[in-house]
Amino acid sequence: GCVLVVSVIEQLAQWHNSTVKAAMERLCDYIPGKYQTTCHMSCCIDREMNADVVCHSLRLCKQDPGQPLCHLYSPPKKEKHFSGLFHALASARPKCQIRSKTFMGFSSVCAFPLLANLCEKIKYVLRNKLPFEDFDGDKFSTFPTLRGYHWRGRDCNDKNTTVYPGRRPDNWDAKSDSNCNGIWGVDPKDGIPYEEKFCKGADSKGVVLLGDSAGAHFHIPPEWMTVTQMSAKSFANLPMAFSDELDWPQFSEITGFLNSTIGGWTDSLYLRLRKRNRCNHRDLQNISQNGIVYFPVNRAPYLSFSLARNQLLDNPAIVIYATIGNDVCNGERDTLAHMTTPKEMLSNVVQALRYLDSHLPNGSHVILTGLVDGRFLWDNLHDRYHPLGQLNKDVTYSQLYSFLDCLQVSPCSGWLTPNETLRNLTSERALQLSNVLKEIARSEKFANFDIFYMDFPLRQTAEEWRKMGGEPWQLIEPVDGFHPSQIAAALGTAITWQKALHEWPQVLGKENPFNDQIEAIFKDQGGY
């Protein structure tokens, strides 16, 4: 974090030909008020010292005994003030010593008083994967972030626990909207409730994602660290992004419902289901977590806490089980030893499916998604410049991956590495785990849902994007160099939908012939 902030400040000074102090003030003007924690750093930043030197001097970068000195930038050259990184640190530490003592009390961003309250809220939702603002306790909210309606269909009555998206209508919603799809009341022409007239027998169903950071749609805006594009507008979405854990589920491949503001376009399984049957409006849940591996109930108890489906009262659901990389991805030195084994995968996925069988309404469907082949990342990014390195052509993705690996915070040591053998072994394990999921879908039977398997459509997505004139690297998030981009998410939806239409049409349900009438009557009541 320190290296990122200091890099931006130094590049702002360079780009605007200003002092470091002026660049700091400029950045602080850009950032919304209570997030201006970086404004305490400026006295130690020197244009002659790169970000690695500054942050090690502040002792914000930890170095255990016997461990290498981690750095993002190439070490300073032997000049009159420097003879390598260690000598640069020796020169810098005296001037930073006083400031580093001040900073030690703020080793966590949550220690800053103005952010402490928000951090407590975020800790709550991280623990429970439930909306922070949920007054009736039905697991749905009228508030967008902090696991609110960006993640689940928007509640239409947060004072009544029996009113929420996805339930079967109460008395055909003749008097009020009990399932929040905007369809309620009685047709004065014949006295038949609109919900009964338009949605009875329509095979309504919701969509639920059990996923990892890719499913949550992790994204750090590149304009936050690209000084040539930076302005106050660049950081306008910072509060929202922070309180959504740097995830953007409202634009995601499975549960996206808003027009993308982070590039590309939004296309999602939910939007296509809603278009197919307007009665499905708001019936979505994104239960994803950054860093999740599999979903065993004993290790991921929030699955039982956060899944909102009543077996007797609610509509069936399409559940997408998609942990596409974290079973083989970790930041450990011995990464292979810390990967999920096929035996563990089988046991824990079956355990999670049994839990779902006891909670999902009859007629539901589960789709298991295979793991991605992450060699695509190194192959298409390693020699390209990261947003932090575009101004001076001094930081490639290869350098970023090595820096994160040194700090032992790499999102995937097995794929984000120059070691081709390790990359191949990681993909081999990913294929083994995908085969476990494929076999589960073939052999396991459950009472309340049928089960299907599909490969993660990375190859088809890349081919489709090439046909549209795009480059493969554009399918990867530019800042973290790891997650699928907005373009990849939208293209992946189209590919998945076509596969489902041809191979599992029963999963998607039939097209509602009354969609146009529903929109005509309830167009002002269908807001998100």
Report the chain's mean pLDDT, rounded to a whole number: 89
Mean pLDDT is lowest, of 96-110, 214-228, 242-256, 312-326, for 96-110
pLDDT tens per residue across span 251-268? 999 999 999 999 999 999
Residue type, 319: V
Q: Which of 141, 178, 204, 213 is catalytic?
A: 213
pLDDT band at residue 12, thresholds of 50, 70 and 90? very high
- pLDDT, residue 49, reads 82
Cβ-based burial of 385 (10 A; exposed 0-12, middle 13-18, buried ≥19): middle
- pLDDT, residue 94, reads 55
Mean pLDDT of 292-315: 72
Domain boundaries, the chain: 1-96, 204-219+242-522
- pLDDT, residue 1, reads 86
Q: What's the distance, CA 133 to chain centroid? A: 20
Report DSSP letters for 149-179, one per residue: TTTBPPPS-TT-TT--TTBPPGGGGSSS-SS
Task: Tell me if 394 sits within 8 A of 52, measured CB to CB.
Answer: no
pLDDT tens per residue across span 221-254? 999 999 999 999 999 999 999 999 999 999 999 9
User: 204-219+242-522 belongs to which homologous superfamily?
Assistant: SGNH hydrolase (3.40.50.1110)
Name every residue whose Cβ is closer than 8 Å to that of residue 86 and which is 6 or more positions away in sequence.
Answer: 69
Mean pLDDT of 521-526: 73
Helices (H), 149-262: 194-199, 213-216, 238-243
Residue 80 has pLDDT above 50, yes or no: no
Residue 36 has pLDDT above 70, yes or no: no
- pLDDT, residue 458, reads 96
Mean pLDDT is lowest, of 9-18, 143-152, 300-309, 449-458, for 300-309
- Is 213 assigned a catalytic role? yes
pLDDT tens per residue across span 134-192? 999 999 999 999 999 999 999 999 999 999 999 999 999 999 999 999 999 999 999 99
- pLDDT, residue 361, reads 98
Task: Tell me if 395 sits within 8 A of 72, measured CB to CB.
Answer: yes
- pLDDT, residue 81, reads 42
- pLDDT, residue 39, reads 63
Residue type, 518: I
CA distance 259 to 261: 7
Residue 98 has pLDDT above 60, yes or no: no
